[in-house]
């Protein structure tokens, strides 16, 4: 183990405490010195033994002296009202003195050089820079380089490099990347099973091993799609569940499964107690099964693992509270492509098996031929077999009845008895079902059995799963009767003919899996034996021909972004609420901290976010009015979560929490969305020359952050200090209303916030009026391609206008990177890393895809481009270059996109990448999709690149010429990268979208899509509700330095030298890993610092707020992410209360050691976490490992223990508070 920085780290962690102590000492010293000077005028201290003999001096103080001292303190109190704590310390010290006790003070001798209070302690960056020179001829020279800052580098526990470097994905029998390499994707006609092949069977096959058929009635209930979730509920779902209760009692052999807890909870709330009791009994009897048990059946492409886990926990907690059941089988029949992340999550939640449906027809056909439709799904990164999850893949086109009984839909449709003549739906194959009678049962049973046998021959066992259902089925009593009575007759006939060797019955999903496991399990455990291991994922899905479903990776980007906004808000609120509510309880504050109403808001937010994970919600594939319904719910919860944060922060920063009195109007948010489809608007903080305004920052990450923040304020001339009166370097910018107009009453203020892990910190901002603080700068601006030229003053700012293009390509840089922009377009051309001077081409372009001329065109689901994307026409766009010591940016106004590239001058992670913000508006286009392309000169072999799956893991992709453009697009929930042996380019995103790498070195990302027609997948509309959308990215260029870590690895007992430097590394691996910096940049983008400003009316009291609060003593190791600290709830009908218990979720991330962890002050230590550090602020009484969603209890742990998390694992712990 290596942890060179541990000692340093520990010191930093205690910096705050020490600092407070020293501050107290310093002020005390100032008082003593002032006192000393006064006394000096009346008394002789000639006999003093030395200038530093403070003790001696103190002993000579009289009561009169102490009075003077107290007066001084009074004055100090006024000046230093921001530091109540220090004053208290001083008071105590003086009290001791007046009682003749010499206080035990910190080492005053060392503090003698401390500046007096009028002086300031300037924090990083240490050098003070001159304000901007406003002489126009100097403009171009100003702020070419930001102040030099030194950055930390993560210390890595070298053994950990092995995980990312070791070969992975190679223990599988089926590696999906290999399948893609080998398949021809030629789609020949397969006969009745159009996308498959002819299946021949012989009745003898089942002679010794009778066929066992489980017919599984189900009803697929989308929580919103064509109708809103409420409308569906009232029109259909309520009847389905009401009838379920009646009909399952009537038909003793009937069974049923249910997947969506959102609907079940709605029904539960309004149904009778009798119905609830019957439902419980049906579950106990195994007649009704809850499958997956999530709030919704979540989308698997666009979702982030935080929200996937959260929606599963929400469902599982509801089930525990009301039904006392633990689901054990997963059911994912409609999501459009499938992720191994889901397999991992279900496995760790204690599930035994899972079922999936929407997989590329060519992949299904391949696996069917090989009898590999049932497999153990293993994570690519799993070096063992612990993640193996038994998975059943359905073989045919759809989950409806025509595609589930066997290969021939024309036949299967005749066994969907809802389609009996006279009903509302029929069979498109033109042969209608007929009721089963004594006359036709023999023939009908024989035909159905033939389908069953054919389907069964695609699987290894003699046990067959046959779903019976469709969307919103079983809503009418007649359908229950039709399906039951007709199938019962068929089954009785089949089962009655012994020579047919078949046993058919209604079943649940777990009836099927239970039978398979029973038959195939080994001697130990329940793991089925004899099935292949499969690794990889099932993107990009197509159901037929070239109809690839890669459009929904981007459709409705406004709401995809909003999803991440609520996710971040919810996580932030969960954590701070849990801390505040626990402290409030432990301090006996009672209901003054309103934990009840806050937990209700949190619960609603969990459910609104969970609802949006549905596979027609976050996917952007619902009708316009349904999208509005989702958007409204998201917005309500975003706003609620700010309220939860504000009250929790207010409580935690209150100087005396025991006397806490709540105030509803205390803080304000820094930005607000006024409508569900509007961008957030920054609020203007009104500054005063009389008193400082207060802003409180909240770092939701368990790592230290130094990060630039942007506020709108009423003055361009300000002074920023932290609560200890340290002056903070700041910069003001003009606020641009459109291309060239600027606001005259509000300005943008930027400064770097330095904040502890899970920390709250107060900063003070004061209007300086006419006087200029040496620590504040005004940025300069130059505009190109504007009418007129010359320099004009806008307030104190100077703006230069130039009608021509910049004379040559121009640059923007900080200490680490230098970006070059094109003189004609203003767009990025290349990026230099200054540490090695290496330049990487990063040519940025915007392009448009059209859609094919055929009838079937792109729509909400499908992407059907009419060929390669074409660059947008750029003709002398307005280019605006703003430069300052902390932030510089290049703005370009292009057709359909306002493009902004920002570079920041902090010591933190945000200084390491280029920030890209696109304001996209394609409302004036027709059938077009706007993309951003970054063309690098990085030679990634075989057009191999990586995209993330659910923000949880990185999956290798390879662009294949045998597939059309749309098939080479993949989901990108949070990042993509490509690399050569020396350089990696990562694009990190704030929201999910489609991504491709069509040529070597390129990354294409889809920004928005506007499509005028339906794409024939049931939505029956195009996507025309586009909004003005703000989309953020970070472009990160990293150099492979192998370096420091390799040296240490060489000496390690298990040499990893070969893995790190040897040939094997040139072959791309199925699982990729971001660097620690890549992780940190991504998580910072997802979880911004939250800013709350004190309302003017609370200025007086807000100055009393303690300056800083931190939950953790020390930051967590770099590779450990605090995923959530989620208060558990006690729920009964119509009531929700917080429990004194929370789920702590920690994720240890895998990372690639070859790229240095720049700008990170953390270290890694082999996955060790100290519970003492985590809960130092909270009095806990129990700590217990649980399964991922908390359904199963694991080991009880010592309250004070250190525990270890394995790489890539997400672990859940139940924390009980006093």
Active site residues: 334
- Coil, strand or helix: which one is 403? helix
| β-pair type (693-698, 759-767) | antiparallel
What track of x and - describes contact with Zn ion for positions 705 through 724 (by CB under 5 A)?
A: --------------------
Cβ atoms of residues 707 and 908 within 8 Å: yes
CB of 405 to Zn ion, least distance (A): 21
Closer to Zn ion by Cβ: residue 555 or 1163: 555
| Spatial CB neighbours of 886, under 8 Å, sequence gap ≥ 6 | 146, 708, 729, 730, 731, 750, 751, 752, 777, 904, 905, 906
CB under 5 A: which stretch of 71-79, 217-225, 403-411, 920-928 binds Zn ion? 217-225
Closer to Zn ion by Cβ: residue 622 or 882: 622
Whole-angstrom distance, CA of residue 912 vs CA of residue 1085:
13
CB of 900 to Zn ion, least distance (A): 38
Q: What are the backbone angles phi and psi of residue 959, rounded to the nearest 5°? A: -75, 125
3-state SS, 247-275, equals HHHHCCCCCEEECCHHHHHHHHHHCCHHH
Closer to Zn ion by Cβ: residue 752 or 862: 862
CB under 5 A: which stretch of 218-226, 758-766, 1018-1026, 1031-1039 binds Zn ion? 218-226
Which residue lies nearest Zn ion, judged by its C-beta? 334
H/E segment holding residue 872 = none
Closer to Zn ion by Cβ: residue 225 or 512: 225
Using only C-alpha atoms, what is the Rg of the chain?
33
CB of 344 to Zn ion, least distance (A): 23
Q: Where are the alpha helices (DSSP H) in 775-815?
A: none
Closer to Zn ion by Cβ: residue 622 or 734: 622
Cβ atoms of residues 784 and 802 within 8 Å: yes
CB crowding 392-404: b at 16 or more within 10 Å, else e: bbbbbbbbbbbbb
Nearest to 979 by CA among 814, 1154, 750, 826: 1154
CB of 1065 to Zn ion, least distance (A): 42
Closer to Zn ion by Cβ: residue 335 or 908: 335
Helices and strands, counts by H and E, the chain: 26, 54
CB under 5 A: which stretch of 204-212, 215-223, 1005-1013, 1188-1196 binds Zn ion? 215-223
Nearest to 25 by CA among 119, 118, 120, 113: 113
Closer to Zn ion by Cβ: residue 261 or 764: 261
CB under 5 A: which stretch of 331-339, 620-628, 794-802, 902-910 binds Zn ion? 331-339
Binding status of residue 160 toward Zn ion by CB under 5 A: no
Binding status of residue 1038 toward Zn ion by CB under 5 A: no
Whole-angstrom distance, CA of residue 146 vs CA of residue 130:
12
Q: State in Å, rounded, how far the first CA of the chain is from the last one.
A: 36
Torsion, CA 100, CA 106, CA 112, CA 118, rounded to 10: -90
Closer to Zn ion by Cβ: residue 334 or 352: 334
CB of 1173 to Zn ion, least distance (A): 44
- Of 155, 222, 289, 640, the residue at the interface with Zn ion (CB under 5 A) is 222
Closer to Zn ion by Cβ: residue 539 or 849: 539
| β-pair type (975-979, 944-949) | antiparallel
CB of 218 to Zn ion, least distance (A): 12
CB of 331 to Zn ion, least distance (A): 12
CB of 297 to Zn ion, least distance (A): 7
**Under the phi-then-psi rule, with left for phi > 0, alpha for psi from -120 to 50, and beta for the rest, what region is 748?**
beta
Closer to Zn ion by Cβ: residue 221 or 940: 221
CB of 333 to Zn ion, least distance (A): 8
How would you class 1098 by CB atoms within 10 Å of its CB: exposed for 0-12, middle for 13-18, buried for 19 or more?
Answer: middle
Nearest to 1072 by CA among 339, 388, 302, 380: 380
CB of 448 to Zn ion, least distance (A): 27
CB of 365 to Zn ion, least distance (A): 24
CB under 5 A: which stretch of 166-174, 221-229, 398-406, 1007-1015 binds Zn ion? 221-229
Location of structure tokens 């005259």 = 744
Binding status of residue 334 toward Zn ion by CB under 5 A: yes
CA angle 556–560–562, rounded 5-degree value: 115
Closer to Zn ion by Cβ: residue 335 or 395: 335
Q: Write the DSSP string, 1052-1109.
A: SSS--HHHHHSGGGGSPPSEE---HHHHHHHHHHHSPPEEEEE-GGGHHHHTTS-SEE
User: Applying CB under 5 A, which residues contact Zn ion?
Assistant: 222, 334
């Amino acid at each position: 183990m290596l942890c060179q920085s541990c000692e340093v780290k520990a010191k930093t962690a205690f910096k705050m405490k020490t600092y407070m102590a020293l501050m107290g000492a310093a002020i005390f010293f100032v008082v003593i010195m002032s006192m000393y000077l006064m006394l000096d005028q009346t008394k002789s201290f000639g006999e003093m033994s030395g200038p530093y003999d403070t003790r001696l001096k103190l002993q000579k103080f009289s009561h009169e002296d102490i009075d003077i001292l107290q007066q001084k303190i009074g004055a100090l109190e006024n000046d230093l009202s921001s530091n109540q704590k220090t004053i208290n310390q001083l008071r105590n010290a003086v009290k001791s003195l007046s009682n003749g006790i010499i206080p035990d003070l910190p080492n005053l001798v060392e503090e003698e050089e401390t500046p007096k209070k009028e002086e300031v302690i300037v924090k990083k960056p240490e050098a003070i820079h001159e304000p901007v020179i406003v002489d126009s001829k100097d403009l171009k020279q100003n702020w070419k380089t930001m102040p030099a800052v030194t950055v930390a580098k993560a210390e890595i526990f070298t053994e950990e490099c092995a995980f990312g470097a070791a070969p992975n994905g190679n223990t599988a029998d089926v590696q999906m990347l290999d399948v893609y390499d080998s398949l021809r994707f030629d789609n020949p006609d397969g006969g009745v099973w159009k996308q498959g092949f002819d299946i021949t069977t012989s009745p003898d096959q089942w002679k010794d091993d009778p066929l066992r058929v489980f017919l599984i009635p189900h009803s697929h209930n989308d929580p919103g799609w064509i109708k809103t979730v409420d409308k569906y509920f009232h029109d259909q779902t309520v009847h389905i569940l009401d009838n379920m209760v009646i009909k399952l009692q009537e038909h003793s052999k009937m069974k049923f499964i249910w997947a969506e807890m959102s609907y079940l909870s709605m029904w539960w709330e309004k149904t009778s107690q009798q119905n609830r009791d019957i439902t419980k009994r049906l579950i106990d009897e195994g007649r009704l099964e809850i499958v997956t048990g999530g709030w919704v059946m979540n989308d698997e492409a666009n979702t982030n693992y935080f929200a996937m886990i959260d929606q599963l926990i929400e469902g599982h907690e509801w089930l525990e509270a009301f039904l006392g059941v633990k689901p054990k089988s997963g059911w994912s029949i409609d999501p459009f492509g499938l992720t191994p992340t889901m397999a991992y999550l279900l496995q760790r939640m204690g599930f035994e098996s899972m079922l999936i449906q929407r997989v590329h027809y060519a992949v299904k056909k391949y696996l069917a031929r090989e009898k590999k439709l049932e497999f153990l799904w293993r994570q690519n990164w799993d070096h063992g077999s612990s993640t193996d999850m038994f998975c059943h893949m359905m073989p045919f086109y759809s989950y409806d009845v025509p595609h589930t009984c066997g290969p021939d839909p024309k036949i299967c449709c005749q066994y969907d008895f809802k389609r009996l003549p006279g009903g509302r739906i029929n069979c498109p194959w033109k042969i209608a079902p007929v009721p089963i009678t004594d006359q036709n049962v023999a023939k009908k049973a024989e035909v159905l059995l033939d389908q069953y046998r054919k389907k069964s021959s695609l699987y290894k066992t003699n046990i067959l799963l046959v779903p019976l259902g469709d969307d919103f089925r079983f809503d009418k009593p007649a359908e229950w009767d039709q399906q039951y009575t007709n199938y019962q007759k068929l089954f009785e006939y089949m089962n009655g003919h012994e020579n047919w060797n078949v046993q058919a019955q209604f079943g649940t999903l777990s009836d099927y899996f239970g039978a398979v496991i029973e038959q195939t399990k080994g001697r130990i455990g329940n793991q089925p034996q004899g099935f292949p291991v499969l690794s990889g994922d099932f993107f990009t899905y197509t159901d037929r021909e070239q109809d690839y479903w890669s459009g929904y990776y981007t459709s409705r980007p406004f709401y995809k972004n909003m999803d991440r906004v609520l996710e971040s808000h919810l996580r932030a609120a969960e954590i701070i609420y849990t801390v505040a509510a626990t402290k409030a309880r432990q301090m006996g504050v009672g209901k003054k901290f309103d934990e009840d109403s806050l937990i209700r808001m949190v619960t609603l937010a969990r459910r609104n976010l969970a609802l949006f994970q549905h596979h027609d919600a976050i996917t952007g594939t619902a009708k316009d009015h349904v999208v509005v319904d989702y958007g409204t719910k998201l917005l309500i919860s975003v706003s609620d979560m700010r309220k939860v944060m504000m009250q929790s922060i207010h409580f935690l920063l209150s100087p005396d929490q025991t006397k806490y009195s709540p105030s509803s109007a205390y803080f304000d948010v820094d930005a607000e969305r006024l409508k569900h489809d509007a961008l957030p608007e920054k609020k203007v903080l009104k500054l005063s020359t009389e008193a400082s305004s207060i802003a409180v920052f909240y770092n939701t990450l368990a790592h230290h952050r130094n990060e630039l923040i942007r506020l709108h304020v009423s003055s361009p001339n300000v002074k920023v200090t932290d609560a200890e009166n340290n002056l903070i370097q700041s910069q003001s910018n003009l606020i641009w209303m459109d291309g060239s107009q600027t606001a005259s009453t509000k300005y943008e203020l930027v400064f770097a916030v330095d904040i502890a892990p899970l920390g709250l910190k107060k900063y003070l901002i004061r209007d300086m009026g006419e006087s200029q603080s040496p620590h504040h700068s005004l940025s300069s601006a130059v505009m190109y391609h504007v009418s007129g030229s010359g320099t004009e003053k806008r307030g104190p700012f100077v703006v230069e206008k130039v009608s021509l293009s910049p004379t040559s390509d121009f640059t923007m840089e900080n200490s680490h990177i230098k970006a070059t922009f094109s003189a004609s377009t203003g767009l990025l051309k290349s990026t230099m890393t200054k540490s090695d001077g290496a330049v990487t081409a990063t040519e940025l372009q915007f392009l448009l895809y059209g859609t094919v001329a055929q009838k079937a065109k792109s729509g909400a689901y499908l992407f059907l481009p009419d060929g390669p994307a074409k660059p947008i026409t750029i003709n002398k766009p307005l280019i605006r270059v703003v430069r300052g010591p902390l932030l510089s940016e290049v703005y370009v106004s292009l057709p359909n996109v306002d493009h902004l590239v920002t570079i920041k001058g902090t010591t933190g992670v945000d200084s390491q990448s280029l920030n890209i913000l696109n304001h996209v508006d394609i409302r004036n286009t027709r059938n077009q999709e706007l993309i951003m392309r970054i063309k690098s000169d990085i030679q990634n072999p075989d057009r191999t690149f990586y995209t993330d799956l659910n923000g949880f893991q990185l999956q290798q992709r390879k662009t294949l010429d045998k597939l059309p453009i749309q098939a080479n697009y993949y989901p990108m929930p949070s990042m993509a990268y490509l690399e050569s042996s020396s350089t990696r380019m990562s694009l990190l995103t704030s929201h999910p979208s489609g991504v491709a790498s069509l040529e070597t070195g390129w990354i294409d990302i889809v920004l928005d899509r506007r499509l005028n027609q339906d794409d024939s997948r049931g939505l029956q509309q195009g996507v025309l509700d586009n909004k003005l959308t703000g989309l953020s990215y970070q472009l990160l260029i990293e150099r492979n330095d192998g370096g420091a870590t390799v040296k240490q690895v060489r000496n390690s007992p298990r040499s990893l030298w070969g893995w790190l430097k040897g040939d094997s590394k040139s072959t791309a691996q199925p699982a990729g890993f971001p660097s620690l910096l890549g992780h940190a940049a991504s998580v910072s983008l997802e979880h911004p610092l939250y800013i709350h400003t004190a309302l003017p009316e609370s200025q007086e009291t807000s100055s009393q707020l303690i300056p800083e609060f931190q939950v953790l003593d020390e930051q967590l190791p770099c590779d450990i992410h605090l995923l959530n600290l989620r208060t558990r709830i006690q729920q009964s009908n119509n009531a929700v209360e917080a429990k004194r218990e929370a789920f702590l979720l920690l994720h240890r991330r895998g990372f690639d050691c070859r790229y240095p962890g720049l700008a990170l002050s953390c270290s890694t230590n082999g996955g060790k976490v100290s519970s003492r550090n985590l809960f130092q602020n909270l009095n806990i009484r129990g700590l217990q490992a649980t399964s991922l969603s908390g359904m199963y209890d694991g080991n009880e742990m010592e309250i004070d223990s250190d525990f270890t998390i394995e790489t890539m694992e997400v672990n859940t712990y139940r924390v009980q508070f006093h």
